[in-house]
Amino acid sequence: MKNIVIVGGGAGGAMLANRLPSDEFSVTLIDKEGYNYYLPWLLYTAFKGSRRNIKMDLQRLIKPGVKLIKSSATAINLNDRWVELSDGRRLGYDYLVIATGASVDYSKINGLRDVVAKYGSYYSTEDEALRVWRTLNSIKEGTIAIVVADPKHRCPPSPMEGAFLAEEFIRTRGLRDKVKIVFATPYPRPYPAEPMNEVVEPIMRERGIDIIDFFTVDYVEPDKQVIRSLEGDELKYDAAIIVPPHVGVGIKYGPEDVVDEDGFVLADKFTNKVKGFDDAFVIGDASALPVAKTGVTAHLQAGVVARILMGEDAKNTGRTNCPFDLGYGLGTFVIGDYYSPVVKYPPNKVNHLMKMAFASIYWDMIRHPELWDPIFDAFFEATNPSTLKGIYG
């Protein structure tokens, strides 16, 4: 029996735990809270006021043979093969999978913590997302600024999704002529990948959303309601919803050089093996790999790591398949991989419905990968970027 320790019970960690055969692997899953969260739904908590449950007890999701330990991992020694828990216990392993996700770090930008405390955020907790909802409901006139503070954040489409849904909500309240929506980003365009930007930027402009590019947040002056950029510009607001910088979760690693300056774990982009180690892997948001930090990425990486652990020759393609809500019932997907640039994929109502459908099956997909994997494999094959590129360019 191979002793597998998985740190983190999010999408990637829980999916991987349920994919490993119990007759070949002894699997231990470590999670500090013992819950799996469907974090993408925070967007709808913030901009639709949804009170839908976004967490599930991991004990209900994982297979009976998987051992769940509710604890934080404080240190990982890759040379000596152990994980230290918050109570001081050390667990040895034959193979380790780091699936800890990412954390938000408000301290990286002066004034950001005060802004979030007042107006909310949809990148961390339900309480903060509901604060965004209260902000939207309270504003009657002025400027709502939705600002990307740092390129490292979960779900690349989500900042623009917030702008689209905020505009839709303000319009439905009959306040569109009194409330200005401003979207500010450090990139040279609203969406980083040019082909997708060609799809979504015209829609943003048609709806009257102001765009400020090359705006790299330096600090915020909450008392003056001003955001200042490294480029020397200022953005005045009446309400500010700022996408915060994301960092690794703060585990102490040995050796120290397996993480980058923000605490994300360095790894091989094809196998997810941690830099310099054949017995340790990192999946999902915890990695420093040049791929989108999304649940779909974690899903696909978990499948590759599972096959490698079972002795197969498996590799990641770098596939991105992010659903993108444009408001008013429209949606698209950000689809690309290591070999094909992002597809210029047009929006429609079916794509939006697919995003809603995925949310409804999310936990069942984790619980029963043997049922859902063939369906998703067929979907990913049908939407292969190289195939779609020939259709949409």
Tell me: the pLDDT tens digits for 331-389? 999 999 999 989 999 999 999 999 999 999 999 999 999 999 999 999 999 999 999 98
For residues 318 and 296, what is the distance between their CA atoms, to the nearest angstrom?
11
pTM of the model: 0.95
Whether 319 contacts 289, CB under 8 Å: no
For residues 137 and 173, what is the distance between their CA atoms, to the nearest angstrom?
9
Read off the tokens for 241: 């919803």
Domains observed in the chain: 1-37+54-102+248-316 (3.50.50.60), 106-245 (3.50.50.60), 318-393 (no CATH)
Read off the tokens for 225: 């309601």
Q: What is the pLDDT of residues 66-80, one digit of tens each?
A: 999 999 999 999 999
pLDDT of residue 307: 97
pLDDT of residue 390: 85
Q: What is the pLDDT of residues 263-308, one digit of tens each?
A: 999 999 999 999 999 999 999 999 999 899 999 999 999 999 999 9
Under the banding of pLDDT at 50, 70 and 90, the label for residue 113 is: very high
Under the banding of pLDDT at 50, 70 and 90, the label for residue 392 is: confident
Q: What is the pLDDT of residues 190-224, one digit of tens each?
A: 999 999 999 999 999 999 999 999 999 999 999 99
Share of the chain above pLDDT 70, in %: 100
Share of the chain above pLDDT 90, in %: 96
- Looking at every residue in the chain, the average pLDDT score rounds to 96
